Amino acid sequence: MSKYDHIIERVFIKNYVDGNIKVPFDRDELAQACDDLGISRIKNLGDIPYSYRFRRELPESIKMTCESGYEWIIVGTGISTYEFRLASPGKIAPTTNRQKIKIPDATPETVRRYAPGTDEQALLTKVRYNRLIDIFTGLTCYSIQNHLRTTIKNIGQIEIDEVYLGINKRGSHFVIPCQAKSPGDRFGIVQVMQDIEFCKHRYPNAICKPVALQFLSENEVAILELEVEESDNIFHLSVVDERHYRLVGKDGITDEEIRLMSQSEE
């Protein structure tokens, strides 16, 4: 196991009682765990819970305390304070059997030349140029901020990849926080929860629609609208809508395909 694994395992075991669905801890306990284990103090202790919230898998010794169908997640509860909480599931991935909806690729040639690949920045760029958030939601959308970092009361520091504002034909306003993932990664419930809390604080009068984005290949994008519900103090992550899009050149959609798509709208 890594140093981080040993530290987070020590903190969990010290606080966990069989049957718990909430296991609180704070940054001081991370420092104490370093001392107890004889590990040199980690300079940025906050990176330990951050890693398990968004990047790393928790050690098996922690996972095995969950019942089947449940996962431990780590949520922020304030400045330098956290909780292990149960979720079902804690992370989710795009399905593999969706039809690919063809969209004419509007990405400028210069951008495609100098920003190739399937990393998160390339994904956000292609989604923006091809108006995929508009197409997916059926709203007229405007990107208002990307790589946003801020602090939310009772949560702590958060980061959102991109935020859109949308308007429908009746004039209703929507806020659409987006999380972007590289191929093979899963979307985490913690990110969705903090996106929702951010929208409640910053845009209380707009309807929040959390969206997840992922490259399936360099020209194929999965988009999911997600929601979180809480019952009996356990968080549940679910998919509201999911679409997969294929960006193609002008000759990538035949007249027959356009005719069939038009008929399906009648």
Residue type, 34: C
N-terminal to C-terminal alpha carbon distance within the chain: 58
Q: What angle do CA 103, 213, 236 make, to 5 degrees?
A: 130
Q: What is the pLDDT of residues 21-52, one digit of tens each?
A: 899 999 999 999 999 999 988 888 989 998 99
Whether the pLDDT of residue 19 is over 90: the answer is no
Quote the CA–CA distance of 104 and 6 in Å, as a whole number. Answer: 49
Q: What is the pLDDT of residues 63-122, one digit of tens each?
A: 999 888 899 999 988 888 999 999 988 889 999 889 999 999 999 999 988 877 888 999
Residue 211's pLDDT band, with cuts at 50, 70 and 90, is very high
Phi then psi dihedrals of residue 5, to 5 deg: -60, -45
3-state class (DSSP) for residue 129: helix
Quote the CA–CA distance of 27 and 15 in Å, as a whole number. Answer: 14
Position 67 scores a pLDDT of 85
Average model confidence (pLDDT) for the chain? 91
Alpha-carbon distances of 99 from 103, 128, 252, rounded to whole Å: 13, 22, 15
Quote the CA–CA distance of 98 and 242 in Å, as a whole number. Answer: 9
Quote the CA–CA distance of 118 and 61 in Å, as a whole number. Answer: 33
Q: What is the pLDDT of residues 148-188, one digit of tens each?
A: 988 888 787 888 999 999 999 999 999 999 999 988 888 98
Whether the pLDDT of residue 143 is over 70: the answer is yes
Quote the CA–CA distance of 25 and 85 in Å, as a whole number. Answer: 11
**pTM, to two decimals:** 0.86
Cα-to-chain-centroid distance, residue 123: 14
Q: Which has the closest alpha carbon to 180: 140, 228, 230, 143?
A: 143
